[in-house]
Amino acid sequence: MKSFIPREVETLWTLFTAPTVWALHFVVCYAAVAIFCAKGLAEEITFGTLRFALGVFTLLALAMIVLSAYLAWRQWGFGSGDPPHDAATREDRKYFQGFATLLLSGLSFVAVVYAAIPLIFIAECQR
Amino acid sequence: MTPELGNFSAEERAAQEERLRKVWETPKGLRYWTSVNNSEIGLWYGVTAFAFMLFAGLLGLLMRLQLAVPNNDLISADLFNQAFTLHGTVMMFLFAVPIFEAIAIFLLPSMLGARELPFPRLSAFGFWSFLIGGIFVCGSIFFNAAPNAGWFMYPPLATDKEYSGIGADIWLLGLSFIEVASIAAAVEIIVGIMKCRAPGMRINLMPMFAWYLLIVAGMILFAFPPLIAGDILFEMERMFDWPFFDAKRGGDPLLWQHLFWIFGHPEVYIIFLPAIALMAMIVPTFSQRPIVGYSWIVLAAVGTGFLSFGLWVHHMFATGLPQISLAFFSAASEAVAIPTGVQIFVFIATMLAGRVIFSVPMLFGAGGVIIFVVGGLTGVMVALVPFDWQAHDTYFVVAHLHYVLIGGMLFPVVAGIYYYFPFVRGKKLSDAWGKVAFWLMFSGFNIAFFPMHFSGLRGMPRRVFTYPEGIGWDWFNLVSTIGAFIFASGVAIVVTDILRPKPKPTARNLNPWNSGTLEWTNDPDESWGMRSVPVITSRYPLWDQPNLQRDIEAGRFYLPDAKSGKRETLVTSVLDADPIQCLRVGGVSYVTIIAALALGGVFIALTFHWWITTIVCAIITFVAIVVWLWTGTAPIPEEPEIDVGLGLKLPIYVSGPASVGWWAMFITMVGDGTAFASLIFGYFFYWTIHADFTAAAQGPGILWPMIALALFVVAWALTVLARELNEKGPVGARLALVAGFVVTVAASLAGLAGPYFHAMDPTANVYPATVWILAIWTVTHGAVGAIMHLYCLARSFAGRMTAEYDQDIRNVTLYWHFMAVTAVTTFGVIGLFPMVIE
């Protein structure tokens, strides 16, 4: 059986995975709510439904970030070495990338949770 | 696996130096100004930006004089409006952003161990654009024609021609021109950092400054284009009465606020991060140890870069958006405090772990951090919606933003000036006067701006030109004015110290602060940058690599010679910096100045509606750019490979994703795509705010947009085909290019036919205006794509583009990938969306 976990790739772009997930989550939440409130969709779907949908989406985003964190952890050699990773070797460059990506995944996780808090506490558009 | 270093006799070295000096020579006399060398351009850029800062500072002092006492009539209300608008505009657009571009252009090559950034002529073009645009904008106040609606130009005030006169046009067109320069700088910086590092400088060894600048340049690509899109809409309203922001005809001033702040908030971090980047170079030097938490700084830089795009609505908390929306932005605004805090703590940790030497750069740096932290804390306050409603548009916000910008940007920049002055001139600035300047600036700043928190909380609104006495604002304002002058006296000392004639240094000391990074190996008297391009094995090579300086100067590393008589630098791989190409960069040139002057002419003539001049200037710009590209890009080398030293031979010509030109196109088109996305955002924005966003007016129909869409896709396919055929021989490629050109012209006409044949009047309502603007945007890009077809055709006939040397067609194909996405989106949206929602 093929593993669903992607193979290790060497590119600069993986560094940005988790923050990109944050950005997508943020834009979707903002756009969904903006359209819901501006177009007065409350008669067709309730705010509760919207909240639920965005809640599910939030969990998906968090799962993506956790996956990105796992991949970063793997790239970091599962924490086998300590920073600063400043040796002039391919190995240390990889560990550095892994560690920095892991840190960014952590920040993105927190930022997604932050963005989801309003969905818990605010129950209508409130203009 | 460091290769065997070269060994040259004294005569060989002298001959090498002679050749290098000749190749990199800065022209003398008037031709000096045709120089494109990064050290000249960077210096001019920096000096110009600094001069604009002093000008804007004087406007600030003028405002403080007017506000010193109640009921003052020193200057008129209108002049006051012009003064504060220009003060903010100049500080943000003509100082804060350009100064970092200047520093980057000046420092990056030396820091990365490159001879030059990949596109020196582009830097020169950016500088001249900046200079012309800046003088145009600043000069307006002497004709009583400066913009006067505030630095963020809110409509309907700024769209009201009677109130704002020509000032708003000067703002829109002058700054659009400068935004072009910023995007040019972003291209230069990204490609420079990714591809032009010294061999061995892997991404885990890159100087912190480069990490920050990479992120900042990326942010520019996503932040400036929305403003350019906004400027286009705004200018169409002012020039041709298209009602994008006119509520009576379906427009909405809030769209401008969105587009402006999608730019405006990341802008704050675009300013802040490079300044912090300077700190990240200064703090390790004066702690005499490597920075603590290198990876954490990368986290902070990238994290801030991303999160800063989720903050823009916190400038719009008082506009009546749904509170759930406000809450998202409030949450992101609080989240951004995390990475910002991380970088402050990294500095503190580095200082604690080392032994701090409190010299002048460190004083300014530390003072700046203290001020910035205060601004950051009030930032956390105003990021909370209920507090913001109280403080909005009061002097509390004025205090907050000055704490953030002066602490987070001006103080570190002054620290950077003191730190890098020996790098520029081979001599330090005065320590004693530097300390006096610091304490005057630090105390003056706090005396001027701290009381504004209180005058703001007592209800003083920003931008009032005077106030009655006895309502509790008098003393605060007088104290602020006194503080402003103390602050200014400190700035005056810094300026005097920079300008005063200094004796030539007696002893040669290239690294007076004992810094660890590569730029300090450069000799300011030579314009070649690195004498030879070293192999790097450490984050602080000067501390860790013995004999580095000596070996570089002895020409023992790569490119110690310039036998070809051309300006050469190394291109290395993105992650591990393995050498992959010897890149030839452009030298001294008039064409960049002509292109910038002519483009400046276009923008200035547009301001005054001089249509013929506009067209003439546009033609000159076009010709200049084509000449520039034709003569300066992708020349076929005399031999495929060149010996770069240390027994390594590298190709001179590469194409596709391996080439710097391909990346420049890619990066430019990402920025272009962002501007386009902003226009699409506008289309859907109008859809959300109206029950029937077409206002019962006719749309462009389905037929014409679908024909245009199909034809553009065919043109794209023909372009790709031309690229494929070109590998086999010129004939097929030429036929495909001709076909591509013809189909593109047809596609463009079909694109305009929809709105034209349905008699959509863009001045009647915002819906036809939006459809027109999207169609025009796409067709304009189609025209550029068609010109590119002809250009490749001509290159092919001229023998400048062959099966082997195919950079042109590869870059054009890349453009067409973006073009295809633009066309499919535009015509899909304007053709199908009205039908979908019915």
What whole-number distance in Å separates Cα of residue B543 and Cα of residue B226?
44
CB-count exposure of residue B688 (10 Å: 0-12, 13-18, 19+)? middle
Rounded to an integer, the average pLDDT of B623-645 is 92
Percent of chain B scored above 90 by pLDDT? Answer: 86
Residue A6 lies in a domain: no
CB contact under 8 A, A118 and B688: no
Task: Answer whether residue A1 shows pLDDT above 60.
Answer: no
Cis peptide before B243 (omega within 30 of 0): no
Place of tokens 């100067």: B553
CB contact under 8 A, B324 and A124: yes
Residue A8 lies in a domain: no
Tokens of B157: 């005030």
pLDDT digits (tens, 9 = 90+) for B532-546: 999 999 999 999 998
> Is B307 within 8 Å of A112 (Cβ atoms)?
no
A103 closest CB neighbour out of B296, B335, B575: B296
How many other CB atoms are there within 10 angstroms of residue B450's CB atom? 17
pLDDT digits (tens, 9 = 90+) for B12-46: 999 999 999 999 998 888 889 999 999 999 999 99
Residue A1 lies in a domain: no
A34 closest CB neighbour out of B204, B290, B325: B325
The size of the A-B interface in CB pairs under 8 A is: 141
Residue B387 lies in a domain: no
What is the nearest CA distance from A66 to chain B, expressed in angstroms? 16
B204 closest CB neighbour out of A22, A38, A93: A93
Percent of chain B scored above 70 by pLDDT? Answer: 100
For chain B, give the mean pLDDT. 93
pTM: 0.94
Task: Answer whether residue A3 shows pLDDT above 70.
Answer: no
Domain count for chain A = 1
A121 → chain B, closest CA residue: B324
Residue B478 lies in a domain: no
pLDDT band at B835, cuts 50/70/90? confident
Residue B369 lies in a domain: no
Q: Is the complex ipTM higher than 0.85?
A: yes
What is the nearest CA distance from A33 to chain B, expressed in angstroms? 7
Task: Answer whether residue B3 shows pLDDT above 90.
Answer: no
Which residues have C-beta within 8 Å of that of residue B236, sequence separation ≥ 6?
Answer: B242, B244, B769, B773
Chain B partners of A115 at a C-beta cutoff of 8 Å? 310, 328, 331-332, 335
For chain B, list residues whose CB is within 8 angstroms of any CB belonging to chain A: 194, 200, 202-205, 290, 293-296, 298-299, 302-303, 305-307, 309-310, 320-325, 327-328, 330-332, 334-335, 338-339, 536-539, 574-576, 688-689
Host domain of residue A89? 17-121
What is the nearest CA distance from B821 to chain A, expressed in angstroms? 20
> Coil, strand, or helix at residue B232?
helix
Task: Answer whether residue B1 shows pLDDT above 60.
Answer: no
Mutate to test the interface with B, among A50, A86, A89 (most CBs of B within 10 A): A86
Residue A76 lies in a domain: yes
CB contact under 8 A, B310 and A26: yes
CB contact under 8 A, A30 and B328: yes
Task: Answer whether residue B786 shows pLDDT above 60.
Answer: yes
Residue A7 lies in a domain: no
Chain A partners of B322 at a C-beta cutoff of 8 Å? 33-34, 37, 125-127
Chain B partners of A12 at a C-beta cutoff of 8 Å? 194, 203, 574-575
Residue A11 lies in a domain: no
CA distances from B397 to B380, B402, B476, B730 (A): 12, 8, 15, 63
pLDDT band at A2, cuts 50/70/90? low
Chain B partners of A26 at a C-beta cutoff of 8 Å? 310, 328, 332
How many other CB atoms are there within 10 angstroms of residue B424's CB atom? 16
pLDDT recorded at residue B540: 95
Chain A partners of B536 at a C-beta cutoff of 8 Å? 88
Domain count for chain B = 1
Task: Answer whether residue A35 shows pLDDT above 80.
Answer: yes
CA B623 vs. chain centroid, Å, equals: 25
CA distances from B487 to A124, B61, B220, B234, B442 (A): 48, 10, 31, 37, 7
CB contact under 8 A, B327 and A22: no
**pLDDT: is B820 or B530 the higher one?**
B820
pLDDT recorded at residue B414: 97
> Is B462 within 8 Å of B150 (Cβ atoms)?
no
Residue A63 lies in a domain: yes
CB contact under 8 A, B324 and A23: no
Which residues have C-beta within 8 Å of that of residue A72, sequence separation ≥ 6?
Answer: A14, A98, A99, A101, A102, A104, A105
Residue B41 lies in a domain: no
> Is B742 within 8 Å of B722 (Cβ atoms)?
no
Task: Answer whether residue B628 shows pLDDT above 60.
Answer: yes
What is the nearest CA distance from A32 to chain B, expressed in angstroms? 10
> Is B706 within 8 Å of B753 (Cβ atoms)?
no
Domain harbouring B784, CATH code: 1.20.120.80
Task: Answer whether residue A5 shows pLDDT above 80.
Answer: no
What is the nearest CA distance from A13 to chain B, expressed in angstroms? 11
CB contact under 8 A, A99 and B295: yes
Residue A12 lies in a domain: no
pLDDT band at B181, cuts 50/70/90? confident
Host domain of residue B722? 658-836
